[in-house]
Amino acid sequence: MQIQENISLRNFNTFGIDARAKYFASFESLEELEEIVDSDLFKHEKNSLILGGGSNMLFTKNYDGIVLKNALKGISCISEDENSYIVSAAAGEVWHKFVLHCIAHQYAGIENLSLIPGNVGASPIQNIGAYGVEIKDVFYSLEAYHKKDKKVVELKKEACAFGYRDSIFKHQFKEDYIILKVNYRLQKQPVFHTQYGNIEAELQRMGVTELSIQNISQAVIQIRQSKLPDPAVIGNAGSFFKNPIITPVQWEALKQQFPHLISFPFQDAVKLSAAWLIESCGWKGYREGDAGCHEKQALVLVNYGRAHGREIFALSQKIIDSVYQKFHVELEREVNIY
> What mean pLDDT is reported for the chain?
96
334 is catalytic: yes
| DSSP 8-state symbol, 166 | B
Q: What value does the mean pLDDT take over residues 223-242?
A: 94
Structural domains present in the chain: 4-70 (3.30.43.10), 75-187 (3.30.465.10), 235-337 (3.90.78.10)
Overall size of the chain counted in residues: 338
239 is catalytic: yes
**pLDDT exceeds 80 at position 1:** no
If pLDDT is split at 50, 70 and 90, which confidence band does 311 have?
Answer: very high
Q: Catalytic pick from 239, 280, 311, 316?
A: 239
Which residues make Cβ contacts (< 8 Å) with residue 149, sequence separation at least 6? none
212: Cα within 13 Å, side-chain hemisphere: 13
Tens digit of pLDDT for each residue in 190-216? 999 998 878 999 999 999 999 999 999
CA 3 from chain center: how many Å?
Answer: 27
Nearest-5° Cα angle at 169, 165 to 171: 90
- Report the distance separating Cα 158 and Cα 153, nearest Å: 14
**pLDDT exceeds 90 at position 172:** no
Backbone angles phi, psi at 301, to 5 degrees: -90, 145
Q: Catalytic pick from 93, 111, 134, 334?
A: 334
The answer to whether 301 and 292 are in contact (CB under 8 A) is yes
The answer to whether 120 and 178 are in contact (CB under 8 A) is no
Q: What value does the mean pLDDT take over residues 73-83?
A: 97
Q: Catalytic pick from 88, 165, 217, 333?
A: 165
- Report the distance separating Cα 149 and Cα 59, nearest Å: 29
Q: What value does the mean pLDDT take over residues 144-165?
A: 95
251-255: long-range contacts, CB 8 A cutoff, minimum separation 24: 254/327, 254/329
If pLDDT is split at 50, 70 and 90, which confidence band does 41 have?
Answer: very high
Percent of the chain predicted with pLDDT > 90: 94
